[in-house]
Amino acid sequence: GNSVTQMEGPVTLSEEAFLTINCTYTATGYPSLFWYVQYPGEGLQLLLKATKADDKGSNKGFEATYRKETTSFHLEKGSVQVSDSAVYFCALATGGGNKLTFGTGTQLKVEL
């Protein structure tokens, strides 16, 4: 079956630090990969996605590259801000459908 493993949190960083949140996956077939973010008091929002190997998804300064050889989709940002504090979820979908398999989420806290 499908599964997503992402690094345990919480992750605490200082503003302007470099961020990496690791995500690896196991999937039947050829998945599409996603990062969702949940800001405090809000619903899940799609942050970025990639649908094929070597694709790079990017949004709001965040990037993630679909690495088929390592089955990974690590999230990175060069300089985090306090406003990036949120819970980040890695997810996948297979078969072209919209049924998502999520990781456990990684809470990020950015301090001044």
- Token duo for residue 4: 């997503």
Separation of CA 8 from chain center: 13
Is residue 101 within the footprint of other proteins (CB under 8 A)?
A: yes
Distance of alpha carbon 112 from alpha carbon 105, whole angstroms:
23
Q: Closest separation between CB of residue 101 and other proteins, Å? A: 7
Is residue 1 within the footprint of other proteins (CB under 8 A)?
A: no
Is residue 40 within the footprint of other proteins (CB under 8 A)?
A: no
Neighbouring C-beta atoms of residue 62, cutoff 10 Å: 20
Residue 98 or 112 having the CB closest to other proteins: 98
CB 105 within 8 A of CB 21: no
Coil vs helix vs strand at 83: helix
Is residue 46 within the footprint of other proteins (CB under 8 A)?
A: yes
Among 11, 67, 102, 109, which residue sits at the site for other proteins (rule: CB under 8 A)? Answer: 102
Among 41, 69, 70, 112, which residue sits at the site for other proteins (rule: CB under 8 A)? Answer: 41
Is residue 48 within the footprint of other proteins (CB under 8 A)?
A: no
Closest alpha carbon to 68 in 34, 20, 19, 25: 25
Is residue 53 within the footprint of other proteins (CB under 8 A)?
A: no
Q: Closest separation between CB of residue 78 and other proteins, Å? A: 25
